[in-house]
Structure 1
Amino acid sequence: MLLINIWLPYIYQKHAFDKRILDKDVYKVVSSKELPDFGDLEMYEHIYMVNYWRFWTHPEMWSVIKINSSIQKEVDYLCSQLKMGRKVGIHFRGTDNIYSKDIPIEYFVKKINEEIEKYGENISFYLASDEIKVKEYLKNRFENHITMMNKPVCRNSKQGIVDAFIEMNVLSRMDKIYASARSSFSELAHLFTNNEFEELKNINNV
């Protein structure tokens, strides 16, 4: 088997390989579980896989990740701001994610209301989002139920990347995560601890 990390033009892919596994195929096998596996790959001589996410998994694969003390301190602080009782993570992904940016905010509002109706005051939410307007809207609507990092989201700086990793670890410590469709960020947070995970999809795009 030869593994090469390189992008090849679509026309070349079709002529050079007798089997192509695209990112949408990996998603159906690994994430959504729509398919059990990639099929019988032994029947193909040349296989080309395109993927931005994991294509293999193991129950212990995430346990080796250890975070340093300064990041752990930030994670602990944000978690301490949540009430005792049930803790729910909300991850609304917008901006450049074509699969999730058109999900109505009302989908998340509905889930939050359902959780509050069930657990009353014995519940709190951690909100992670790259959309400032969404954070302001949900914070104003649910007030003391919502906790979030009060920093601008910037993935193009070292601190921005650190802040994102902090929020990923906070989400991993929630009892459940409600996430935008096909976001590797919230899915990875879920995989750290295998907490409850529900992906919200725009029913008009299903």
Structure 2
Amino acid sequence: MKRKMIFVPAGGLANRIRATLSAIALAEQTGIELKVTWFRDWALHAAFRDLFVPGRLPEGVRIVEASVMDLLVYDRPRQKNFRVPALFQKVMFRACLYEHQIDALRTQGFDFEEWVKQEGNVYMASYLPFYAYPDALLHEVFRPVPQVEEVIERRVSVFSAYTVGVHIRRTDNTLSIKHSPLELFFDCLDKEQAAHPDLCIYLATDSEEVKQAMRARYGERIVCAESKADRGSTAGIREGIADLWTLARTRKIYGSFHSSFSELAAELGGIPLIVVKTENK
């Protein structure tokens, strides 16, 4: 009987994308059957089909929207669901790995290949990448829906010959706020402006205050989304995808400390990422 893995990506947009790619690469390498179950929750309240068009998936790999039954059986066991899914998962799977375990396991050099190769089906949830995946897989699996592609092309159309990307994370990311203050981004961009008279800056941020401060300093050089960041709606998450793919079309990215979004944008575009943090000064 073919071995199977149920995989549940967790967290926000960039975390889910990278974790899903890890699971797909692991499945392709080991020959297991993989079902990625996509849940809508507070961290990413949108269905997969409303964000991405079907891409090329390896044989035996599926990405499905979570059903009501999946909430009971395959959801991540947490206090909010009284850990009821864990009761089913202990019976249905040989072994389970949950999101709070993944960071320690990958740091310890855990052999994920050997884990899935053993007899029996397994369950895994993660918001972190845990297995190396080829760059091409990102472009093959995750392709924005046409409505988002139109937004991306419209923003890129106003780029100058020299456009840099800037991702400034605020709201709930306390490490980014602490280690990547706005003044350090100003220092980097002031140097870019002095060296490149035609500088254009694509700004991706979840803070309206940051938008105002950047526009006050750099004026019409700033290109960014007009709407407020909102990960609680499909429209807001589509804006996040547009930001991610547009950042990837710049020359380089000045990104925030401890931000998977900055990292994924650079990975997507195959461009340099300069993490702006206090240690650099």
RMSD: 2.9
Whether 1:22 aligns to 2:104 is yes
Q: Structure 1 residues 113, 158: closer, same or farther in 2, change over 3 A?
A: same
Letter in 2 for 1:56: Y
Read off the aligned partner of 2:151 and give its amino acid letter: E
Counterpart contact for 2:181–2:277, Cα < 8 Å = no
The answer for the alignment partner of 2:192 in structure 1 is: 115
Give the structure 2 partner of residue 140 of structure 1.
216
Q: 1:49-92 CA deviation, whole Å, 9 max, x = no partner?
A: 99622122223221202222221111011111222x11101000
Contact 1:90 1:126 in 2 (8 A): yes
TM-score normalised by L of structure 2:
0.56
| Identity between Structure 1 and Structure 2 (%) | 26
Contact between 2:249 and 2:269, CA under 8 Å: does it hold in 1? yes
CA distance in 2, matches of 1:3, 1:172: 38
Distance 1:139 1:61, change over 3 A: same
Match of 2:232 in 1: 156
| Residue from 27, 38, 55 that aligns with 2:130 | 55
1:78 equivalent in structure 2: 155
- C-alpha separation in 2, matches of 1:81 and 1:3: 51
Count of residues in Structure 1 that have an aligned counterpart in Structure 2: 176
8 A Cα contact 1:116 1:123, kept in partner: yes
- Report if aligned partners of 1:129, 1:135 keep a CA contact under 8 Å in 2: yes
Query: What is the alpha-carbon distance in structure 1 between the residues aligned to residue 214 and residue 95 of structure 2?
Result: 45
Query: Hey, what does 2:165 align to over in structure 1?
Result: 89
Letter in 2 for 1:188: L
Contact 1:22 1:51 in 2 (8 A): no
C-alpha displacement of 1:159: 0.7
Which stretches in structure 2 are left out of the alignment for 5+ residues? 1-93, 116-123
- Matching residue of 1:4: 96
CA distance in 2, matches of 1:63, 1:136: 33
Alpha-carbon distance in structure 2 between the residues aligned to 1:3 and 1:186 = 33
Correspondence for 1:69 among 146, 155, 163 = 146
Structure 1 residues 61 and 180, CA gap change in structure 2 (3 angstroms): same
Unpaired runs of 5+ residues, structure 1, are 14-19, 27-37
CA distance in 2, matches of 1:168, 1:7: 24
Structure 1 pair 98–145 and aligned structure 2 pair: CA distance change class (3 A): same
